[in-house]
Amino acid sequence: MIDFGFTLSKSSAVNLTNIDDSKFNALLEVEPDAARCMTCGSCAGSCSAGVFAPMSLRRVIAALQRGADKEALSMLSHCMLCGKCTLVCPRGLNTRHIILSIMKIYNTAD
Ligand code: SF4
Ligand code: SF4
């Protein structure tokens, strides 16, 4: 085999058919608007916590959709529930309420 001096990175593709989406579906039952997130990032851009810590609601929702619960909860631990993201969401999501529902479902449904 020819040595080109580099190796290909491992694929970061996520096989969505292999993830456990039961908790995300439970979230959608109480917060159906969470499915309307278009990952625009307005929430992340206005986030009070994001200035100081790795916190982005856009990334939290994306992580939950691909079953990366620990990653999402780690980010959410920095949320101050200030509600600024709710004010800027172009889809009109009640993000603060969604965050509280995520904390409740993902922290208690084990
Ligand atoms: S601002 Fe709203 S639509 Fe945009 S990424 Fe955040 S939650 Fe999703
Ligand atoms: S409620 Fe949480 S996620 Fe939303 S802007 Fe405030 S700190 Fe950021």
- The separation between CA 12 and the C-alpha centre of its own chain, rounded to angstroms, equals 17
pLDDT at residue 109, as a whole number: 46
The answer to whether the CB of 77 is under 6 A from ligand 1 is: no
pLDDT of 15-50, one tens digit each? 888 888 899 999 999 999 999 999 999 999 999 999
Task: Please report the atom of ligand 2 found closest to the CA of residue 49.
Answer: 7
CB 103 within 8 A of CB 109: no
Q: Which two tokens stand for residue 47?
A: 């986030």
Task: Please report the atom of ligand 1 found closest to the CA of residue 93.
Answer: 2
- Mean pLDDT of all residues in the chain? 92
Q: Whose CA is nearest to atom 5 of ligand 2?
A: 47
Amino acid at 78: H
The answer to whether the CB of 34 is under 6 A from ligand 2 is: no
The number of the ligand nearest the C-alpha atom of 90 reads 1
CB 78 within 8 A of CB 54: yes
pLDDT of 47-93, one tens digit each? 999 999 999 999 999 999 989 999 999 999 999 999 999 999 999 99
